Amino acid sequence: MPATSPPDGAVQMAATDRTRLRRLPEQGSHRTADLHAVLDAGFVCHLGLVVDDWPMVVPTTYGRSGDLLFLHGSVASRSLRAAKVSTPVCVTVTHIDGLVLARSLFEHSVNYRCAVVYGVPDFVGDAVEKLEGLRVISDQVAPGQWEYARPPSARELAATTVLRLALDEASVKIRSGPPDDGDGPDTDLDLWAGEIPLRTVRLDPVADPTLRAGIRPPSHLSDGNPAPGSISRHDLS
């Protein structure tokens, strides 16, 4: 499979100066479906913000609902609040799919899917909306747990920060397939070329050592239903 083609049809996100794809535009896309697919395949993003004129990048969990991204804001909430009431952020989600090993070191690459979202998030204040945002995040990180585990108390909900970001300005880059030097002079060399796929796998659940005897993992954990972007070890055999 060659590198992803340029977007055709269904171009729904307008390219801004920031999201216009300059380098390797053939790997880029502004299709909403591509954006949603990359976002839905993960649950940890890298949230970038500016603090005292310096960039700051922290990982946090997220979930998507329609054209909204909800971020668990605790890690960055202090910096976000310190920065400004309305502070611009960049949210980047990256999946590493494989090592691309070419005949030349220059053509070595990585197969990946990456979504970059720009915007000014708001802190979700309303308790009902915050609960809904947390549900979206929880469903993306660990499907089934929202219905299974004990819900947040009013105190716990107040202690939790949720950020909401509209998916208005975003771009997607995807590289897949073999190296790009398969039609060049380096094919005359006696060198192997190809891809080493990388996958995230879920191992079997490990019970909390303090778990009372006789409590089994619920079916949504033990019967597959893997975390986004992961596959069960049993799928590999």
Return the residues of window 15-34 that contact its own copies according to CB under 8 A: 18, 22-23
Rounded to an integer, what is the distance from CA 101 to the centroid of its chain? 25
Could you say which residues in the range 119-148 bind its own copies, by CB under 8 A? Answer: 134, 138, 141-142, 145-146, 148
> CB of 69: closest distance to its own copies in angstroms?
14
Structure token digits, residue 31: 């299709």
Rounded to an integer, what is the distance from CA 54 to the centroid of its chain? 23
Of these, 108, 123, 166, 176, which contacts its own copies (CB under 8 A)? 108
Q: Which is nearer to its own copies, 12 or 222 (CB)?
A: 222
Q: Which is nearer to its own copies, 8 or 105 (CB)?
A: 105
Contact call for residue 179 and its own copies (CB under 8 A): yes
CA dist 49 → 67, 79, 113, 142 (Å): 21, 8, 22, 27
Could you say which residues in the range 197-236 bind its own copies, by CB under 8 A? Answer: 197-203, 205-212, 215-218, 221, 227, 230, 233, 236
20 Cβ neighbours under 8 A, 6+ residues apart:
171
Could you say which residues in the range 159-178 bind its own copies, by CB under 8 A? Answer: 159-160, 178
Task: Give the span between the Cα atoms of 168 and 13, in whole angstroms.
Answer: 7
Q: Which is nearer to its own copies, 126 or 190 (CB)?
A: 190
Which range touches its own copies (CB under 8 A), out of 3-11, 31-39, 40-48, 63-71?
40-48
Task: Give the span between the Cα atoms of 140 and 229, in whole angstroms.
Answer: 10
> CB of 57: closest distance to its own copies in angstroms?
4
Task: Give the span between the Cα atoms of 112 and 61, in whole angstroms.
Answer: 19
> CB of 23: closest distance to its own copies in angstroms?
7
> CB of 117: closest distance to its own copies in angstroms?
10
Task: Give the span between the Cα atoms of 205 and 203, in whole angstroms.
Answer: 6
> CB of 10: closest distance to its own copies in angstroms?
25
Structure token digits, residue 137: 């995040």
**Nearest CA among 235, 212, 237 for reference residue 224:** 235
Task: Give the span between the Cα atoms of 219 and 234, in whole angstroms.
Answer: 16
Which range touches its own copies (CB under 8 A), out of 7-15, 31-39, 62-70, 99-107?
99-107
Q: Which is nearer to its own copies, 10 or 59 (CB)?
A: 59
Phi, psi of 93 (to 5 degrees): -120, 125
> CB of 197: closest distance to its own copies in angstroms?
4
